[in-house]
Structures are given as C-alpha cells and as structure tokens.
C-alpha cells in the first residue's frame, strides 16, 4: 500500500470541554425545563422565539415554498417510505414449537414515542427530516416529535417544515443543539419525553446523545461525512473527483479517500480534484476537508484494496471498478455500499430511498445505518407446559445447584412432578 496523499492527524475525539458543557446543559434542562432550554437557545442559537412551531406558523411558512420544491420533497418522502416499508416486511413475528410443551417466539412492537433531531446546518437539506422521521412512521410510532434549530429568519426553514409535515411528524419544536436532545430525553413543560432519539448533528448533539443513552435509546452517533472511492485503471478520474468532493463539501472535517489499483489513475484523480476545487466557492468546506483529511492510496492488488476498504469501515463505500459483482460480497465493513460508477452517493443523500444517516469513524465495523428497525422492539415470549416443563425444570434445578442459587433451584424444583 502506497500513500500518494495522507491526511493530517486530526483527532475527532470529544474534548473535555464539550463533554462538560453538554453535561451542564442536560443538568440544567433536567432541573429547570423550558426555562433552561430558552436560555440556551438565546445563548447558542440567538433565538428568543416560542419553542413550539404552531400550525399557523407551519401553514404560513410552507405557503412561501415554490411548488417545484414541494414536489421534490414529496418524492423524497415517497421513496424513503417505500424502502422503509420493504424493510419492515422483513421483520416478521415468530411463534414456534421447540420441543414438546415448549413454544417460543417474538413480537415486533413499535416504539411509542420518537424524537427526531434535524440539523440546520449551512444549507436547508431537504432530505434530512424525512430520512429520520419516515421510518418511525412506517414502524408505527404513535408520537413523532422533531427538533430543529431556529436559524432561518427566526424559525425553521419552510422546506424542512414541509418535509416533516409530509413525514407524519406530530409536534415540531424550534430548538437546536444539546438542549434539544436534553429536552426530548428528559421532557419539559412543553417538549414531550420520548423513548428513542435519532438524527445527526454537530459534536454537541452527538455528545448529548451519548450522555442520554440508557435513559432513552439512540440510533447511532455519527460524525462528519465520509466517502471512500475504490477504483482501478479503468475508472474515470473526473467521476472519482466529483464523488470525492460531493461528500467533502458537507463539512470541513469530512473525509474523502481514494483507494486505487492504479498509480496513474490515482494521480489523474488528484489533478481533477484540484481543478474541480477551483470552481468551488472559497467558503466551501470542501477546501479544508480535502486539504486536511483527503487521502489517496495505491493498492498493489485487488485483495489488498478490499482489505484496505474493510479496514477504513467507511460511511460511504463507492466501488468504481466494473467487475464489482465478482467481489462485492468481500466487503464487510461500511455504512452503505454503492456499486458501479453511476451509483452516485449523492442519489442516496437526496432521494434514492435507503437511509443516509450512517455510521462514521469506523462504526461500520459493528453497525449499519438508521433504518425502520431502530424504531421497533423485537421482544421474546415463551409458553412452557407439560413435558417441556419437566425437561427444563430438571435442567434448571441441576444447573442452579452447581451455581449455588437456591432461589432458582427451588423455583425449578417446585415444578417437577414427584
């Protein structure tokens, strides 16, 4: 493996300052409820408006949206819904005999109350709200509340509001940052307490989700966007460059990585990236992301390249090699896999259907992205009778004696027939 371009050593660890700041916010919200939330909104969000978005505000805001924007949002909701419904069909109840008198299984039960965090960010990303909330609706959640920063003319951008409305959200609050996560996890006078919190955000949001986990469930903790493009000598450098920078423009800490089987192709891609960057606005995060975190590697073989991809466990793995069907099953660690040069990650970012909330920072080693399964509980049940009771009671009594657990042994033995 040869590095042609190596990233600077930039730590993505949560700092003690961030950790302590978030801890104090959660403590204040727990003690003072709405008052604390409003204070932090004024301090961090420069917002003194009401926390709840009313139906009248929704209607007036959405009325400003062009019809063509509404059509785009409706299409997003439709496609994300269809994919989530297809996933839900895979989650089926189980009720089966496992021996005489032993019947066991599981039920698939929706989580009742979902909290969705929808970041404001530099741009009003039309897909962010539906990606987090549509799977909850498909799962059957009774209540879906959403929080998003009031950073557009004193409120939430109308495109974000329309996306949430189309997705079946029941309550919307103009709250951002760690205070939004604390409010949903703990409940305040205005914000309902939820059971699961999902959605991406900045480091304060991520740290708040980490700190409230256990009191509520969370989807995952995701950082800035990542992409790894896997290429060979046949791959188009122009397409590779465009795909790398499409993710780099999300955040100055985004990671854009090329692993190529051809040094010539890798060098040509670097040239294309540098030329394409000249067309970006000077303020685009892509400049810092590529300069600080961009990497280009050349692998000596297909096997070495695949091993490198699995080691990175990247958020978006985009394979530009034409013969991908012959080795695609060898990829094991990633957030989402994109096969073929025309399967742009941008399609998933926007509208294709699979969720774009995905694991970063090597999280692909142990989890996938947000999906309808995050909003259901698969809970087991069992009915033991007759011969099943005798068989299991004898085993449990013997095992409990070895373990020295008298209460367990007694409970089992009292079910044994003389």
Query: 198 and 223 in contact (C-beta within 8 Å)?
Result: no
User: Under CATH, which number does the domain 16-218 receive?
Assistant: 3.40.50.1980
pLDDT score for 121: 63
Same fold, 16-218 and 224-368: yes
Report the candidate in 124, 115, 149 with the shortest Cα–Cα distance to residue 43: 149
Residue 310 CB-half CA count within 13 A: 12
- Residue 47 corresponds to which tokens in the numbers above? 């917002």
- Residue 275 corresponds to which tokens in the numbers above? 């030329």
Residue 417, SS3? Answer: coil
- Residue 366 corresponds to which tokens in the numbers above? 């142990």
Q: How far apart are CA 85 and CA 330, in angstroms?
A: 28
The rounded percent of the chain whose pLDDT value lies above 90 is 94
Extents of the domains making up the chain: 16-218, 224-368
Q: How far apart are CA 213 and CA 220, in angstroms?
A: 10
Q: How far apart are CA 70 and CA 370, in angstroms?
A: 24
Query: 218 and 396 in contact (C-beta within 8 Å)?
Result: no
Q: Is the pLDDT of residue 418 over 80?
A: no
Query: 316 and 360 in contact (C-beta within 8 Å)?
Result: no
CB atoms within 10 A of CB 332: 11
Q: How far apart are CA 220 and CA 263, in angstroms?
A: 36
What secondary structure letter does DSSP report for 342? Answer: T
Q: For the chain, state the CA radius of gyration.
A: 25
pLDDT score for 331: 98
For 360-417, the pLDDT digits (tens) are 999 999 999 999 999 999 999 999 999 999 999 999 999 999 999 999 999 999 999 9
Mapping DSSP onto H, E and C, the string for 23-35 reads HHHHHHHHHHCHH
Q: How far apart are CA 191 and CA 74, in angstroms?
A: 27
Report the candidate in 252, 290, 293 with the shortest Cα–Cα distance to residue 269: 290
Q: How far apart are CA 283 and CA 305, in angstroms?
A: 34
pLDDT score for 124: 78
CATH H superfamily, domain 224-368: Nitrogenase molybdenum iron protein domain (3.40.50.1980)
Q: Which residues are catalytic?
A: 315-316
Q: How far apart are CA 5 and CA 271, in angstroms?
A: 12
- Residue 149 corresponds to which tokens in the numbers above? 């920063």
**Cβ contacts of 405 within 8 Å, gap of 6 or more:** none
For 315-361, the pLDDT digits (tens) are 999 999 999 999 999 999 999 999 999 999 999 999 999 999 999 99
């Amino acid at each position: 493996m040869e590095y042609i371009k190596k990233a600077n050593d930039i730590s993505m660890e949560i700092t003690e300052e961030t950790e302590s700041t978030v801890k104090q916010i959660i403590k204040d919200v727990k003690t003072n409820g709405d008052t604390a939330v409003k204070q932090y909104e004024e301090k961090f969000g420069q917002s003194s408006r009401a926390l709840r978005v009313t139906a009248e505000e929704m209607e007036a805001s959405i009325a400003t949206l062009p019809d063509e924007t509404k059509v785009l949002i409706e299409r997003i909701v439709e496609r994300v819904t269809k994919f989530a419904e297809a996933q839900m069909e895979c989650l089926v109840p189980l009720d089966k005999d496992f021996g005489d008198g032993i019947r066991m299984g599981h039920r698939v039960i929706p989580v009742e109350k979902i909290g969705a965090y929808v970041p404001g960010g530099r741009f009003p990303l039309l897909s962010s709200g539906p990606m987090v909330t549509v799977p909850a609706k498909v799962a059957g959640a009774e209540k879906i509340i959403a929080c998003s920063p009031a950073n557009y003319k004193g409120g939430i951008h109308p495109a974000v509001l329309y996306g949430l409305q189309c997705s079946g959200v029941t309550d919307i609050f103009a709250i951002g940052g760690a205070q939004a996560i604390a409010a949903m996890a703990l409940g305040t006078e205005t914000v309902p307490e939820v059971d699961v919190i999902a959605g991406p955000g900045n480091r304060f949001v991520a740290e708040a989700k980490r700190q409230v986990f256990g009191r509520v469930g969370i989807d995952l903790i995701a950082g800035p966007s990542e992409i790894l493009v896997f290429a060979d000598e046949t791959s188009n450098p122009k397409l590779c460059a465009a795909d790398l920078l499409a993710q780099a423009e999300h955040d100055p800490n985004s990671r854009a990585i090329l692993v190529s089987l051809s040094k010539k192709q890798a060098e040509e891609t670097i040239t294309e990236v540098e030329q394409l960057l000249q067309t970006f606005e000077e303020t685009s995060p892509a400049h810092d992301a590529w300069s600080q975190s961009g990497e280009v590697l050349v692998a000596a073989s297909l096997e070495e390249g695949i091993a490198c991809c699995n080691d990175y466990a990247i958020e978006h793995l985009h394979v530009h090699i034409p013969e991908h069907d012959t080795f695609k099953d060898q990829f094991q660690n990633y957030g989402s896999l994109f096969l073929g040069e025309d399967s742009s990650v941008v399609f998933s970012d926007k509208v294709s259907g699979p969720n774009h909330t995905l694991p970063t920072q090597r999280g692909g080693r142990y989890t996938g992205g947000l999906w309808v399964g995050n909003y259901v509980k698969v809970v087991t049940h069992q009915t033991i009778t007759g011969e099943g009771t005798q068989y299991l009671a004898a085993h449990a009594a013997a095992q409990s004696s070895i373990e020295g657990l008298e209460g367990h042994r007694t409970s089992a033995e009292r079910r044994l027939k003389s």
